[in-house]
Every structure is written in structure tokens, then in C-alpha cells.
Amino acid sequence: MKSQKTILRALAGEKTETPPIWMMRQAGRYLPEYRATRAQAGDFLSLCYNSELAAEVTLQPIRRYGFDAAIMFADILLLPQALGADVWFVGGEGPRLSTTTTPQELQALKPAGDVHDHLAPIYETLKILTRELPRETTLIGFAGAPWTVATYMIAGRGTPDQGPAHALKYENIEVFEGLMDLITEATIGYLLAQIEAGAEVIKIFDSWAGSLAGDDFERYSIAPLRRITAALKAAHPDVPVIVFPRGAGERYAGLHAVIGANCIALDDGVSAEWAAAHVQNGGCVQGNLASSHMVSGGDALVRETRRIVDALYDGPHIFNLGHGITPDADPRNVQLMIDTVRASKGQSDAP
Ligand code: 1CP
């Protein structure tokens, strides 16, 4: 049976008349209504665990823009917290975590199956959203990929080059791989529970995949993504999976088949024309307008948006940015991007 929702049609491999659109970090600090709700919640983590308010900020960009999908409001660092790591956010700087770099610290974390009590508010957010979202809007659940989550758990913070995680790989491979396995297993359980709570699509963010060189890319980005995707597909074959190995560059080629995912999300480091030839032949692609256009706007935004839509027009495409929208973005530029994408209808031959 054909699904009515455009995003689900694109994820099933159908070329749609106009690309469906949503935006990474669509609920976020560039929106005044987000800043107001966040102030009401207190800090960022309190907002994540307050199901009513998390559902509210998820809905805000849907009300304002009518995006085709809503991504539940949460963070990839809630899973380390559920595993027993300390996680806090330093205003203006970013996340801080207690580190996991020794056998004792790894041992002190909880077993993968024990994360669900802690994460219950996230499942509740999804349940609220299944009731409150417009019928035509698709609900996306997500998690960080094991490598990306591990980089934060090992360094205790965000790092420009993921140096501490690379170092642990060389200095104590048992701890490194033990941690990767624990995160992988916990992520599978977390995502299955999200699907059971109402997530219709799953996205896995491997934001730091690009720093894995040589065999490490296959071993620590692709293999865990494949393992998670296979486990989700075994239980829920109809739930589409989007994977985002950011910074993969030419290693994006052929990834649908290698990972078994329905959609490969592209960052803005590859051109849409290249992706049409080397990635989209395997299935749906998502992306990849540079986020900076949401700050600068104008003709360049319109031109670049049209170029991406045209380049990917012959196959399944979900329009998105190449990375999250930044706090200094102008909300009017988001509207201009959406209008440009939706006006692209009929630019080429309809299916
Ligand atoms: O001050 C604030 O309000 C916090 C800013 C913020 C927001 C809005 C953070 C802190 N996280 C989020 C929400 C978030 N994070 C979502 C919600 C849904 C949506 O997209 O609207 C999602 C999907 C994420 C995912 C996430 N968190 C990723 C993967 C995607 C990516 O951007 O690469 C990563 C790496 C994080 C960690 C994180 N959380 C927050 C920050 C500032 C960071 C990056 C830290 C760093 O490396 O310095």
C-alpha cells in the first residue's frame, strides 16, 4: 500500500514530485519560541527530560514552517547519561561528561539493557508527539552512532579532531572496543523502544565519522551502523533508517548497500551532482545545503537550493541542510529555502 506521507515515499525509493523537507536542529536556538520554552524549562537537559516541553519545542518548527517531518527533541548525549556517565552542559561552551578510558570506568557503566528507566521521558515525548503532530507530518526518532557517542564519552567533551578517542584506540583497544560494543547494544535497545513509542523513521548521527581513516572507517563507523540497522530491520522491517556518516567524502559512494539503510544523509562536503551519480543510484539521499545560507540568505540561498533540487531530481531525495542550523540563522531564510524547494515542483518531468 502506498504511504501518503512524502517522506516515507522517498524513503521507500520513490522519486517524488517535490522533495519533502525538514532540517537538522530545526528546533533550536535560532527560533525565539524555542528560547522562550528553554528558559521556562531551565537548562538544556531539563528541557530534554521534560516530555511536555520537549514535545512543545518539537512542534514549534512544524507550526511555523509545516516541515514534512518532526525530529523528536532530545540529544545524542542522553544515552551516555542513561549508561551512568555524568553529563552536563556548560553555557556557551557545550557538553561535559565524566570520562570512560579505563577498564574500571567501563566496568562501572550500566549494562546495555538497563537504560530504559532513565530514558522513559524520551519515550513519553514520542507518545505525546504521535497524538499531537499533524497527520501528514512524519515523526523521526534518533540516536548518535557508537563512534560519535564514544568520542564524547572518552574525551569528556566535544573535540575538534576526536584526538582522545583515537588515542584510546591505540593505547587500550579492549576498553575502546568494549565501550563501542556497549554503546552499540544500548543504542539498538534505545531505538527499538523509540519505534515502539511511535517513531516512524530512525536517523543515526555519525557526526564525527569523517575523522576515521583507512580501515577504521569501515570498522568503527560503517560496521556499527550496519549492525544497528540490521537489528532494527529484523524487528521492524518497515521502519526506514537514515544514516549520516558526516565527512565521509568519496566514501559516501555505494553506502546504501553496504549499510542496508534506506537513506544516506549527505553533508555539504560533497556536491549534489556527484551524489546523484554515486550515492542516489543506491536509494534515497538527504541533504545537503550548507547551513551558512540560513545566515546569509538572498539570491545565493535560492540559487544553491535550486541547484541541489535539480541535481537530485531524478531520484528519491529529502531536502535538508548538510549539518544543523546554527543559532545565528535568520528564521526568514528558512522560509525562503522551503518556498524555493516547494516551488521547484514541475521544474523537471514529474514521475
Ligand atoms: O543551548 C541549547 O539549547 C542547546 C543546543 C542543543 C540543541 C538544540 C544541543 C546541545 N542539542 C540540541 C538538540 C539536538 N541535538 C537534536 C534535536 C532535534 C533537532 O534536530 O531539532 C539532535 C538531533 C541533536 C543531535 C546531536 N547532539 C548531535 C548529532 C548531530 C550533529 O549536530 O552533528 C551531536 C554531535 C550532539 C551533541 C551536542 N549537543 C548539543 C551540542 C552543542 C552538541 C555538540 C557539542 C560539540 O561537539 O561541541
Contact predicate 71/63, CB 8 Å: no
Contact predicate 26/71, CB 8 Å: yes
Is residue 268 among the annotated active site residues? no
CA-to-CA distance for 84 and 98, rounded, in angstroms? 9
Instruction: Find the catalytic residue in 9, 30, 38, 227.
Output: 38
Is residue 332 among the annotated active site residues? no
CA-to-CA distance for 342 and 66, rounded, in angstroms? 11
Q: 239, exposed or middle or buried, with CB in 10 Å at 0-12, 13-18, 19+? A: buried
Distance in Å, CA 75 to ligand 1 centroid: 6
Q: Does 344 appear as a known binding residue?
A: no
Is residue 65 among the annotated active site residues? no
DSSP-assigned beta bridge partners for residue 243 = 204, 264
Contact predicate 188/180, CB 8 Å: no
- Helix, strand or coil, per DSSP, at residue 269: coil
For residue 178 the three cell numbers come to: 568494549
Q: Give Cβ neighbours of residue 106 (< 8 Å, ≥ 6 apart).
A: 100, 175, 178, 179, 182
CA-to-CA distance for 207 and 267, rounded, in angstroms? 9
pLDDT of residue 10: 98
Instruction: Find the catalytic residue in 34, 65, 123, 152.
Output: 152
Q: Does 227 appear as a known binding residue?
A: no
Cα dist from 9 to 14, 125, 128, 206, 345, whole Å:
5, 25, 24, 24, 16
Residue among 26, 38, 76 to mutate when testing ligand 1 (max atoms within 8 A of CB): 76
Atom 1 (ligand 1): residue with closest C-alpha? 44
pLDDT of residue 1: 46
Which domains, and CATH codes, for the chain?
26-264 (3.20.20.210)
CA-to-CA distance for 121 and 110, rounded, in angstroms? 18
Strands 87-90 and 94-97: antiparallel
Distance in Å, CA 126 to ligand 1 centroid: 18
Is residue 152 among the annotated active site residues? yes
Is residue 219 among the annotated active site residues? no
Atom of ligand 1 nearest to the CA of 25: 20
CA-to-CA distance for 145 and 206, rounded, in angstroms? 5
Q: Does 286 appear as a known binding residue?
A: no
Give Cα 229 to chain centroid, integer Å. Answer: 14
Distance in Å, CA 231 to ligand 1 centroid: 25
The pLDDT profile of the chain, 351 residues, written as one tens digit per residue, is 455 899 999 999 999 999 999 999 999 999 999 999 999 999 999 999 999 999 999 999 999 999 999 999 999 999 999 999 999 999 889 999 999 999 999 999 999 999 999 999 999 999 999 999 999 999 999 999 999 999 999 999 999 999 999 999 999 999 999 999 999 999 999 999 999 999 999 999 999 999 999 999 999 999 999 999 999 999 999 999 999 999 999 999 999 999 999 999 999 999 999 999 999 999 999 999 999 999 999 999 999 999 999 999 999 999 999 999 999 999 999 999 999 999 986 554 444
